[in-house]
Structure 1
Amino acid sequence: MFSHKDVWVFDLDNTLYPADADLWPKIDARITLFMAHLFGLDGMSSRALQKYYYERYGTTLRGLMEQHRVSAEEFLAFAHDVDRSGLKPNHTLAASIAALPGRKLILTNGSRDHALRTAEALGIHDMFEDVFDIVAADFVPKPEAATYERFFDRHGVDPKRAVMFEDLARNLVVPHERGMTTALVVPKPGQADHREAFEMVTEAAPPHIDFVISDLEAFLDEVARTLRGGPDGA
């Protein structure tokens, strides 16, 4: 399955860092605070509206832009202004990504600045050719088909030669339809899971997901060994 793959595409949040990291809850809380300041709502009401926009529009930002013409730059700067000291360099992951043949790209609904700072904290920023962020997507988030088409066009990616790693199953539907190999990254047993309830796969993986993995480093190592034709892949 991987012998003809030479483009490796990674989501950022809850994919390239562990599911139980504290980064996403911090960002989530910042978004709630932004909503509270914007509308003068209490925390509970702000969070309910935040999650409504998130589920309906794919990101809270898109809902705010469409319904209230909120400045995307202001929102992204506020939401991603968080302490990343809880993230530690992951040298194992860096080596695993480096061992993959071909190009490596990040495709995120967050901002480029957030992706670069997070990747730097993880010690993997040098592994990637580029970041395709929500601004490059013209603020149309995954899982919209237009976002993937912009990504393919901008970076000259043939989806049939690419693999997509994501923590949200709905964001893998279009990649699979376009011919990408898809891998859903889920928490390890016992790890916290910060996904929303509607985002979780509770039964057998749907047909648009080729692999479900809880250990990204081990999976990438196995793929790299297979492609090298080593003892585990001969």
Structure 2
Amino acid sequence: MMQLGKRGFDHIETWVFDLDNTLYPHHLNLWQQVDARIRDFVSDWLKVPPEEAFRIQKDYYKRYGTTMRGMMTEHGVHADDYLAYVHAIDHSPLLPNPAMGDAIERLPGRKLILTNGSTAHAGKVLERLGIGHHFEAVFDIIAAELEPKPAPQTYRRFLDRHGVDPARAAMFEDLARNLTVPHQLGMTTVLVVPDGSQDVVREDWELEGRDAAHVDHVTDDLTGFLGKLSPAK
């Protein structure tokens, strides 16, 4: 049941989705592979032990929105080299999800992806899930001019690039902090959380925020949630 004062979906004409840990279950821990490669990249670039690299990685992630942005700002790393390395992972844990695809297809209006990852990584994820054809476009970290969510200018660039009216859009995300600006802009916000049935590899702060004022809805079952919003065929 929707809480009093929370925004609904009757007016929504554009549906915006994050990619990692949103369009596939948290418990696949696919991002853990990326996480390990980020640590290795930082360790190699800065010539520090893995333990120190991990500390730096998480510090930059929290302060800059992505470790990449921190490495670019403080150490002159080139985005192309970084993205190619950290996204060279095994995508095979992802399986086709026709039920989600059907629910997305039945949503009225446009569907877009807004991710801090790369278009190449997004393409592989969407191909494995079998849902890529439901989306009009992917707005990635390159389109964002290397400024990741939750930077306000990133959302502005996205809205301008794709002509999205935030007052008639909904945003689905797995990090509550990435919903702050969308909510301020007028979007209906949905936080996608782990379903609790299996272990997930996340930091405590990444799992916070489900009670935040800028979070309109929380779900641990995105397919089921979307199915309730979709008109019957």
TM-score (norm. length: structure 2):
0.94
After the TM superposition, which residues 41-80 of structure 1 pair with which residues of structure 2 at under 5 Å, given as runs? 41-80=48-87
Amino acid in the other structure paired with 2:212:
P
Q: 1:23 aligns with which of 21, 30, 54?
A: 30
Does 1:98 pair with 2:110?
Answer: no
Following superposition, the deviation at residue 15 of structure 1 comes to 0.2
Shift of 1:51: 0.5
What residue number does 1:182 align with? Answer: 189
Match of 2:4 in 1: none
In structure 1, give the amino acid aligned to 2:90.
D
| d(CA) in 2 for partners of 1:107, 1:127 | 14
- Equivalent residue of 2:113, what SS? strand
- Asked whether the 8 Å contact 2:193–2:207 carries over to 1, the reply is no
Amino acid across the alignment from 1:91 = P
Q: 1:217 aligns with which of 214, 223, 233?
A: 223
C-alpha deviation, 1:4, in angstroms: 1.4
Give the aligned CA root-mean-square deviation in angstroms: 1.3
Deviation of 1:197 after TM superposition, in Å, equals: 1.4
Which digits, 9 at most, give the CA deviation of each residue in 1:119-145, with x for residues without a partner?
111111111000000010011110111
Partner of 2:42: 35
The CA distance in 2 between the partners of 1:26 and 1:165, in whole Å, is: 23
Structure 2 CA distance, aligned partners of 1:11 and 1:104? 11
For the residue of structure 1 that corresponds to 2:26, the secondary structure is coil
* Distance (Å, rounded) in 2 between the aligned partners of 1:123 and 1:109: 21
Report the Cα distance in structure 1 between the residues aligned to 2:177 and 2:151, rounded to whole angstroms.
10
Cα shift at 1:199: 2.1
State how many pairs are aligned: 226
Instruction: Quote the offset at 1:22 in angstroms.
Output: 3.2
Question: 2:126 maps to what in 1?
Answer: 119
> Does the alignment pair 1:198 with 2:205?
yes
Q: Which runs of 5+ in 2 are unaligned?
A: 1-7
Whether 2:148 is the aligned partner of 1:141: answer yes
Alpha-carbon separation, structure 2, partners of 1:139 and 1:166: 19
Moved over 6 A (4+): none
Residue of structure 1 equivalent to 2:169: 162
Give me the identity figure in percent: 52
**Deviation of the 1:23 alpha carbon:** 1.2
